[in-house]
Amino acid sequence: MTIEKQTNYGNISVTEDAVAILAGTIIAECYGVVGMASKQVLRDGWAELLKKENVQKGVVVRRKDQKLEIDLYIIVGFGVKISEVVQEAQKKVKYELEKTLSEEIGAVNVFVQGVRILN
């Protein structure tokens, strides 16, 4: 799945991985988010904290009804109000992706995979 745009100068194609990296980078900058987690929880319920070069492994991008849907898997910091962190992260990711890609975002789903103590 790619996003295709036509301009006076030619065609633009944005891959699913590029959208995933952009979304992962945006949410990693949000208050209360420690980092991205893998889509699959490791055995015993532990979530793996992904390094910056692997943020796309914590993002799922799909197209539904001509809109993009983004699933983000995150780890939040201990002591923050999880519902507030998630709501603000959803707003920021939706706004930044729509502004950057000129594409309508249908849903931004955030899944909290774990809580970590901030250093």
CATH number for the domain spanning 46: value is: 3.30.70.1350
Tens-digit pLDDT profile for residues 5-62: 888 999 989 998 999 999 999 998 999 998 888 776 654 455 666 666 677 778 999 9
Tell me the one-letter amino acid at 9: Y
The residue segments making up the domain with residue 107 are 2-116
Q: What Cα–Cα distance (Å) separates residue 42 from each residue in 27, 47, 57?
A: 22, 6, 14
As for how many domains the chain has, the answer is 1
Is 90 in a helix, a strand, or coil? helix
- Residue with tokens 């959208």, as numbered in its chain: 19
pTM for this predicted structure: 0.84
Tell me the one-letter amino acid at 70: I
pLDDT at residue 9 in the model: 93
- Residue with tokens 């992260």, as numbered in its chain: 89
Q: Under 8 Å CB-to-CB from 114, ≥6 apart: which residues?
A: 37, 46, 47, 49, 75, 76
Provide the pairing of β-strand 33-36 with 105-116. Answer: unpaired
pLDDT at residue 41 in the model: 64
Tens-digit pLDDT profile for residues 60-79: 999 888 899 999 999 999 99
According to DSSP, residue 39 is labeled: S
